[in-house]
Structure 1
């Protein structure tokens, strides 16, 4: 029996990962959640070191996947102590608990560890975060690598996938404004056309993580830093146009060609996925195909932003 602990199983990526791992024969998956626990998940605050230790000691996992994090750049900028507690200290505590059982630990990081000035970025490129979120995730990477006796960091870009609410992803968070702009006599919705992103489908990432776990289970453990990314560059305006097409809405959208975010964001942090590709790992679903799957599964007509 191969045992995997998924920390943060109720989140956007965590749910996709649990769905993917559910099909594995002779694997036992134990998952945690904090704000949205289900009967199948253990409620866990990753800031509580004793609770973390008790959970890991109970599961005695072969592998731990840390999908819990504070991922909102504006929140991290306003409260760096909160960002550090979730993105750095929690990683260190979980890795330390995993060490006691010889478990391999995978921690999720971000393309925002780079400044976006010289893409594409390899796994061994020099990080230079522009904001508190990127800094906290970089420190989390270092905490994992320094603490885990057996560990790996997986950097990911902008994620989207099956959602519980529109705001879960910066991709689907655009839908309410798009829908509003399509109403009669509505004002045009301004959309950022400056920052280049690489939207990446969470079920694809879940496949990548499952493949990495399979390699560990058969003794071919991957260590250090790896990266995975979608391969379609687009800014938020272009994402919004494609969302409007998928929703069959006559949206009125205006591109904004200068950055307007209060929190600084990088221009283009394209992550090179070459290390995993060289191992024959990975899957990419075309954006238009994937986003239609997401929208078809989530009702949007007559919606509210918290639907």
Structure 2
């Protein structure tokens, strides 16, 4: 039986992957988590190299997916050591343990390894990260590929999907301000209209990862670097407009046309997904359909109202 270990199973992408892999009844999936350990998950701090060694030796997975990371650019900027512990050192430890076991590793990286000056970016384009987050993820890519040949870096852009709170994604984190701006007498919500993003639905990414795991299980593992991205370019201002439409509210939005973030961010890091598309791997849910599903599920689960009232 093909056995998959998933590090970071309680996060935004990890939960989507868990739902996708649940359909693979011929596989055994071992989900791990650290800060939010749910029933059926193994508690594991991937910053602990000895714990990683013991886990891999005990579970003996055929493949490991690393979905855990410090992905908040501002946090990485202010605490680069903590970012490095998760985004670099933990990746190296998992890669070393997996290599000893003979397991394939898939590690999630980011479009922020690029400077955003010359999109679209092919997998072999020269990285030039602008901030500590991008630098830590680039170091993590190199740590993985320097440690084991049986591995794949999967670069992804801005993610959104089913959430447990609004702040879990930079897409849904806009919702409170959008709703507040629709209140009578409220001030407009200022939204970035400078940087172009490509919001990508986590269930689509989970589908891509399952396809990659299937190739691994069949003895045709993809190695090196691959990328997957949504194909709808939009700024946060555009995203906010579409969220307001999905919510059915008249939001007051103001476009911020100059970069305003304290941490430098690239302007347009569109990732070329051609390598996976050539393999017949991929799925894209239109943003309007994806965000409506996220908002509906959030309200249905009793986690927050949809409307401004």
Query: Which bin holds the TM-score, normalised by the shorter protein?
Result: over 0.9
Task: Provide the residue aligned with 1:269 in structure 2.
Answer: 269
1:42 and 1:50 mapped to 2: Cα distance?
15
Cα displacement string for residues 71-103 of structure 1 (whole angstroms, at most 9, x for unaligned residues): 000000001101100000000000111111100
User: Aligned to 2:101, what secondary structure does the other structure show?
Assistant: coil
Are 2:190 and 1:186 aligned?
no
Are 2:260 and 1:260 aligned?
yes
1:290 and 1:89 mapped to 2: Cα distance?
34
Task: Provide the residue aligned with 1:209 in structure 2.
Answer: 209
User: Aligned to 2:65, what secondary structure does the other structure show?
Assistant: strand
Cα displacement string for residues 150-183 of structure 1 (whole angstroms, at most 9, x for unaligned residues): 1010000000000011000000000000000001
Q: Is the 8 A contact 2:6 2:67 kept in 1?
A: yes
Task: Provide the residue aligned with 1:167 in structure 2.
Answer: 167
2:275 and 2:305 mapped to 1: Cα distance?
42
Task: Provide the residue aligned with 1:70 in structure 2.
Answer: 70
Task: Provide the residue aligned with 2:108 in structure 1.
Answer: 108
1:14 and 1:148 mapped to 2: Cα distance?
23
53-62 vs 277-286, which moves further? 53-62
Deviation of residue 39 (structure 1)? 1.6
Aligned pair count reads 304
Structure 2 unaligned spans of 5+: none
Deviation of residue 302 (structure 1)? 8.2
Task: Provide the residue aligned with 2:288 in structure 1.
Answer: 288
* TM-score in terms of structure 1 length: 0.98
2:91 and 2:149 mapped to 1: Cα distance?
13
Task: Provide the residue aligned with 2:305 in structure 1.
Answer: 301
1:221 and 1:19 mapped to 2: Cα distance?
22
User: Aligned to 1:29, what secondary structure does the other structure show?
Assistant: strand
2:6 and 2:76 mapped to 1: Cα distance?
23
1:60 and 1:220 mapped to 2: Cα distance?
20
User: Aligned to 2:97, what secondary structure does the other structure show?
Assistant: helix
Deviation of residue 59 (structure 1)? 1.1
Query: Which structure 1 residue ranges, 4+ long, deviate > 2 Å from structure 2?
Result: 299-304
Cα displacement string for residues 167-211 of structure 1 (whole angstroms, at most 9, x for unaligned residues): 000000000000000011000000000000000000000000000
Task: Provide the residue aligned with 1:42 in structure 2.
Answer: 42
1:30 and 1:100 mapped to 2: Cα distance?
18
User: Aligned to 1:297, what secondary structure does the other structure show?
Assistant: helix
Cα displacement string for residues 254-300 of structure 1 (whole angstroms, at most 9, x for unaligned residues): 00000000000000000000000000000000000010000000023
User: Aligned to 1:241, what secondary structure does the other structure show?
Assistant: helix
User: Aligned to 2:167, what secondary structure does the other structure show?
Assistant: helix
1:249 and 1:47 mapped to 2: Cα distance?
44
Task: Provide the residue aligned with 2:236 in structure 1.
Answer: 236
Structure 1 unaligned spans of 5+: none
1:92 and 1:149 mapped to 2: Cα distance?
12
Over aligned residues, Cα RMSD in angstroms? 1.1
1:108 and 1:206 mapped to 2: Cα distance?
11
1:191 and 1:159 mapped to 2: Cα distance?
18
Q: Is the 8 A contact 2:16 2:206 kept in 1?
A: yes
Deviation of residue 25 (structure 1)? 2.5
Cα displacement string for residues 102-145 of structure 1 (whole angstroms, at most 9, x for unaligned residues): 00000000000000000000000000000000000000000000
Task: Provide the residue aligned with 2:128 in structure 1.
Answer: 128
Q: Is the 8 A contact 2:88 2:143 kept in 1?
A: yes
Deviation of residue 227 (structure 1)? 0.1
